[in-house]
A and B are shown apart, each in its own frame.
Chain A
Amino acid sequence: MSIVELQNIRKVYDTKVAVEGLSLSIQPGTMFGLLGPNGSGKTSSIRMMIGMTMPDSGSVSLFGQPFDRAALHRVGYLPEERGLYKKMKVLDQLIFLGRLHGLSEETARARSLAWCERIEITEAIDKKTEELSKGMQQKIQFIAALLHDPELVIMDEPMSGLDPVNAALLQQTLIDLRKEGKAILFSTHRMDQVEKMCDEIALISRGKLLLSGSMREVKAGYPRNRLQVAFSGDGGFIRHPAVAEVTVEAGVAELTLRDEGAAQQILAGALAHGTVITRFEVIEPTIEEIFIEKVRASFGDVEAGGIADA
């Protein structure tokens, strides 16, 4: 059973096509990264998942059922633009939001306190929202999305604007939730986070899906034809016939191969000539490289500047 299933959804605002023919599915216990440049349709897609807007065509299913508002009690949502009642105290605010998700007042209170402890923000409990820093408000809203113990967590840019310590704290929290078997979808353009955290990704640009699948599948689609070799002694191994390009700098050679299979032969050849190898690595394409390449292709090279603004 898919937790989220989008089938061929399309959404047009006025004359702008926000999402075009998007299909994707998220399995239980998955950390799903929704990637894309600014204005690519990430937020529009997320809003359709939680019924805030309806797709013009195509279908949305949650928990294996066609979309129904009743299912929203099982979803936790952190919107891209954060908003809390300014004049309300943090604890009251969390209890209010928890109760809107169907919790009793006592449960909401107990869980709010526990969560505040967990993400180290207990000192803010009695303050009004307007007295808090932006990062703290974000943590509060992070809690609000999780209070009712949702099976599906949807977060639009959850880490943006946080310092590295807090970002790592929230990242770890999400990883823990995934271990508990929850499905987590988050959108971002921070590729390092995606690399570290995600099991699956979908990349969209200009409303269209460019690629999707597990990290392994996505990367498998790209050749592993680059080598990085740190060595000392005889550098003759770089003159192998399979080497297309090479740069050597401070004892580190970067090689691009014509054929992936040649890597082992090159290593064997180097060792046979008595070269001392201190590091030998087949370099995988990074998500960032894939992202930039794909997005650039979707825009045409002209507009590629400023896309990877993360």
Chain B
Amino acid sequence: MPNALHNILLIARREYTERIRTKGFLIATVLIPTLMGGGIFGMAAIASHSATKSHIAVVASQTQPAADLKHELENGKDTKMTVDIVAPTPQVLSALDRQVQDKQLDGYLVIHQDAQPATFDFTPRSSADIATSSAIKDGLHSVLSHEYLAQHGLSASDIDTFMQPVTLNIVGKGGHKGDSTASFIVAYILFFLMYMVVLLYGMNVARSIIEEKTSRVFEVLLATIKPDELLAGKIIGVGSVGLTQVGIWMAAAGLFAARAGSMSAVTISVTQAIFFIVYFALGFALYSSVAAALGAMTNSEQELQQLNMFLMIPLFFCMLMIPVLIANPNSTLSRIVSQIPFCAPLLMNFRISLSMPQPWEIALSMALIVITIYAVLWVSSRIYRVGILMYGKKPNLPEILRWLKYS
């Protein structure tokens, strides 16, 4: 029906041009990535500068291993602490306690070397200071290991070789060396991007329908076009705004990554990008149709707020399923949940990022989504047609079921 298509596109175009010109769109487009990017980089910056800088005292009767520990803690990879070594005198502990109380010290470590093996008591100013205590623990472990190995006749260079951390390379299917952390990060980024946009713009679809109901424009529109054309047009129009926004964000991120160059430990492959776009479009269309149904059932934003759990619940379910997918992307449970139409856009896409499922699984999930979109749209346009003419009254479930029977 070229006529229906003509109408849908007209509605979509109007919706698109009106929304894209608003200040809200501009602000969201610029502000959200700025805030999120700022947040991420800010956190990264804090994390990289988070080497513990605590000032502690070590109470030890012998110079070793206290001196080695001091060296380790003051010049270690992740620690930049200040360490004072004090000899155990009867008054030292009460003096240290006072210093801790006056905040001159972050804590003190007492080494009891007469015991076999030696015991270590750390008194921190705040027991929540996990970073300091774990740095001390690591430092002690390293120092004691060195000492033990040296006692058994190993040279310093041998000890260093021996103490090297092990690197485990993850080899993917094609024999490519992959970084599993990177693929997790990509999968998570894509997941949350989709989650956010679906939620944001899905609600926008519902809102635009309510807006039309309050302004009563639909009465003129429905005198020419069918409710399903109107709904489809709205979903496409508002959806394109969402896609435009994500497109801008991704292009900006791409440019940024290209500039930043080396930071692209996180790379999105072409396949991932294509599947993301396809599943994003499908998922968005699906959730928007549900939102359209919610919008059709309600008369105000307040009522909509009460119903938006119908959008949230499947999304939350998807989040709960993520650990299952990570544990085993190809288990039966993973396969089943990634076929549920409301989860497939997020979960199948997540699985594709983790490990490529069978082609038929992808095809099936897409087909199921398309069928569901059509079914939801069919239902919502019926609810819409009857619902708008019964405005002012909140429908109950039997009424909604009865609406579905109307042509």
Stretch touching chain B among A92-100, A168-176, A203-211, A217-225? A92-100
Stretch touching chain A among B34-42, B68-76, B182-190, B219-227? B219-227
Given contacts A54-B406, A102-B3, 10 further A-B contacts (CB under 8 A): A13-B390, A79-B216, A79-B219, A82-B216, A83-B215, A83-B220, A96-B14, A99-B10, A100-B221, A100-B225
Docked complex: B1-30 residues within 8 A CB-CB of A:
3, 7, 10, 14, 18
Q: Nearest 8 CB-CB pairs, A to B?
A: A83-B216, A79-B219, A83-B217, A77-B223, A81-B216, A83-B215, A100-B224, A50-B223
Interface: A216 (CB within 8 A): no
CA distance A53 to B219 in the complex (A): 11
CB pair B220–A144 under 8 Å, yes or no, is yes
Interface of A with B (CB < 8 Å)?
13, 47, 50, 52-54, 69, 72-73, 75, 77, 79, 81-88, 96-97, 99-102, 141, 144-145
CB pair A72–B224 under 8 Å, yes or no, is yes
Contacts of A52 in B (CB 8 A): 219, 222-223, 385, 389
CA distance A79 to B406 in the complex (A): 22
Interface: B306 (CB within 8 A): no
CB pair B10–A47 under 8 Å, yes or no, is no
Nearest opposing residue in chain B for A75, CB measure: B223
Residue in A79, A82, A86 whose CB lies within 8 Å of B223: A79
**Interface residue total, chain B, C-beta cutoff 8 A:** 23
Contacts of B225 in A (CB 8 A): 100
Interface: B218 (CB within 8 A): yes
CB pair B220–A77 under 8 Å, yes or no, is yes
CA distance A85 to B321 in the complex (A): 42
Docked complex: B319-336 residues within 8 A CB-CB of A:
none
Q: Which of A50, A54, A79, A100 has the most CB of B within 10 A?
A: A100
CA distance A81 to B217 in the complex (A): 9
Interface: B407 (CB within 8 A): yes
CA distance A84 to B10 in the complex (A): 16
Nearest opposing residue in chain B for A78, CB measure: B220
CA distance A144 to B18 in the complex (A): 19
Contacts of A85 in B (CB 8 A): 14, 18, 215, 217
Beyond A54-B406, A100-B7, A100-B10, is A73–B219 a contact (Cβ under 8 Å)? Answer: no
CB pair B226–A69 under 8 Å, yes or no, is yes
Beyond A52-B389, A100-B7, is A72–B216 a contact (Cβ under 8 Å)? Answer: no
CB pair A83–B10 under 8 Å, yes or no, is no
What's the nearest-Cβ distance from chain B to residue A74, in Å? 11
Contacts of B7 in A (CB 8 A): 100
CB pair A86–B216 under 8 Å, yes or no, is no
Nearest opposing residue in chain A for B19, CB measure: A87
Docked complex: B29-85 residues within 8 A CB-CB of A:
none
CB pair A72–B218 under 8 Å, yes or no, is no
Nearest opposing residue in chain B for A84, CB measure: B217
Beyond A52-B223, A53-B389, A54-B407, is A87–B18 a contact (Cβ under 8 Å)? Answer: yes
CA distance A52 to B18 in the complex (A): 26
CA distance A188 to B10 in the complex (A): 33
Residue in B10, B212, B216, B218 whose CB lies within 8 Å of A96: B10
What's the nearest-Cβ distance from chain A to residue B9, in Å? 10
What's the nearest-Cβ distance from chain A to residue B369, in Å? 29
CB pair B219–A97 under 8 Å, yes or no, is no
CA distance A141 to B390 in the complex (A): 23
Residue in A54, A84, A86, A101 whose CB lies within 8 Å of B224: A101
What's the nearest-Cβ distance from chain B to residue A52, in Å? 6
Contacts of B407 in A (CB 8 A): 54
Nearest opposing residue in chain B for A79, CB measure: B219
